[in-house]
Structure 1
Amino acid sequence: MQKLLRLSLKKIGEFEIIGYTDEEDKGVILEFPFLGNDNQFLSNNFQNIKCAAIGIGQIKSSALRKKVVDQYKNAGFHFPIIISPYAIVNENVGIGEGTVIFDGAVINTYSSIGSFVIINTNSTVEHDCNIGDFVHLASNSVLSGNVIIGNGTFIGAGATIIQGIEIEHDVIIGAGSTATKNCFAGKTYIGVPAKLL
């Protein structure tokens, strides 16, 4: 996800990117240097830099992303909304801070997207959906109209959520699954139709 995020930032062209942080030095990536791990970077006291983007994806839990966001917020950083110029976001859509929308994604009218959400490549959010914070929609996932997604939920690649379904917080919907019924907090669902694992 880090590389996709960097490419999106370059395409947008509104930000000067000084580099990236990580647990280990992966060298120069897409022209951007390594700045140390998060603790090292924050201890260097970059007073003129107060904008960050989170390049951490999610599979089992959003806990690491939340931890990093809290660390940077406590240091006074803010998180812009990042929307690829190749995504479609229709009118009357609300989007929270730190949310990233990648190439080919479509967000339709009267949907509400929380903070620090990842809407990955070619994902679709139809009309009147409500997506909580720290949700990850993997590539090619589809939310039909009037879907509710709770905080911290992961929707796998190619998964479909049928019209009007509610997915509670911290749920995992497996890749390629189709949710035809409401899904309960903290559970994992797989298959077509999606069933509790």
Structure 2
Amino acid sequence: MNKLYFLGAGGFARELYSYIKEYDFEYRNYQFAGFLSDYSDDLDDFDMIHGVVDNIRSDKVLEGDAILIAVANCKLKDELYHYYKNKNCEILSFIHPMAYVGNNVTIGDGSVICPYATLTADIEVGKGVLINAHSSIGHDAVIGNFSTLSGHCDITGGVSVGERVMFGSHALVIPNKVVESDSIVGAGSVVVKKVKSGTTVFGNPAKKIK
């Protein structure tokens, strides 16, 4: 049986670990082998069956092994996805059984959809996207590769999100707006106009702060 590794060993990795436990660590017929992190003591203070077994860019992961991306950092997700893709690893997605995924929703490989997330209909979710618990995405929205929605975000109908966009918790984007690549939307912000590439916005209404 090929092995399954988590990329990352921080708080979100521990959350994802608790979800995977429901599958007795044989998710999609892979044997869970542990966490990969550059910080070997990440899990020392937690009661975990499995620990950190190697650095996050690991030679232990072999062709045919599988990984789940368990980090929220958008640029890091992008880098790790391509690193392990080049090693011919299987990059898995995870959709929690308590998430709602409606009609004509496409989800790229390496994405994680957490419990109570709602993806309504006619939505395109790219590769390596994290949609955390209680977040919602409305009809005809597009979420670009390696973006992250923290908990309780609301991406309404017709919104277009670029690549590597980070949304803090409780962020809201009103319908049909554009959030360009490599931008950050701060926690609790309400986006009412286009967010340009590489900018950070915060507030209600959201305004550029960086």
TM-score normalised per structure 2: 0.85
Q: Are residue 99 (structure 1) and residue 114 (structure 2) matched?
A: no
Distance 2:172 2:61 in 1: 44
The amino acid of 2:22's aligned partner reads K
Q: Are residue 54 (structure 1) and residue 66 (structure 2) matched?
A: no
Unaligned runs of 5+ in 2: 1-11
Structure 2 vs 1, CA of residues 57 and 134 (structure 1 numbering), >3 Å: closer, same or farther?
same
Distance 1:184 1:123 in 2: 23
Matched with 1:156 is 168
Deviations 1:51-73 (A, max 9, x none): 10111112xxx222222222211
Unaligned runs of 5+ in 1: none
Matched with 1:185 is 197
Structure 2 vs 1, CA of residues 142 and 35 (structure 1 numbering), >3 Å: closer, same or farther?
same
Contact 2:167 2:184 in 1 (8 A): yes
Contact 1:23 1:37 in 2 (8 A): yes
* Secondary structure at 1:72 match in 2: helix
The amino acid of 1:89's aligned partner reads V
Q: Are residue 38 (structure 1) and residue 56 (structure 2) matched?
A: yes
Distance 1:96 1:23 in 2: 26
Distance 1:113 1:34 in 2: 30
Q: Are residue 142 (structure 1) and residue 160 (structure 2) matched?
A: no
The amino acid of 2:13's aligned partner reads Q
The structural deviation recorded for 1:30 is 3.3
Please list, as runs of the form range in 1=range in 2, the aligned pairs for 1:1-197 lying within 5 A after superposition.
1-12=12-23, 15=27, 16-25=31-40, 26-27=43-44, 30-39=48-57, 41-42=58-59, 44=60, 46=62, 49-58=64-73, 62-197=74-209
The amino acid of 1:98's aligned partner reads G
The amino acid of 1:97's aligned partner reads D
The amino acid of 1:145's aligned partner reads G
Contact 1:12 1:85 in 2 (8 A): no
* Secondary structure at 1:5 match in 2: helix
Distance 2:105 2:181 in 1: 21
Distance 2:187 2:23 in 1: 29
The structural deviation recorded for 1:33 is 2.9
Distance 2:61 2:152 in 1: 39
Structure 2 vs 1, CA of residues 181 and 187 (structure 1 numbering), >3 Å: closer, same or farther?
same
Distance 1:57 1:33 in 2: 19
The structural deviation recorded for 1:103 is 1.0
Count matched residues.
191
Contact 2:128 2:147 in 1 (8 A): yes
Matched with 2:4 is none
Contact 2:120 2:139 in 1 (8 A): yes
The structural deviation recorded for 1:45 is 5.8
Percent identity over paired residues: 28
Structure 2 vs 1, CA of residues 108 and 182 (structure 1 numbering), >3 Å: closer, same or farther?
same
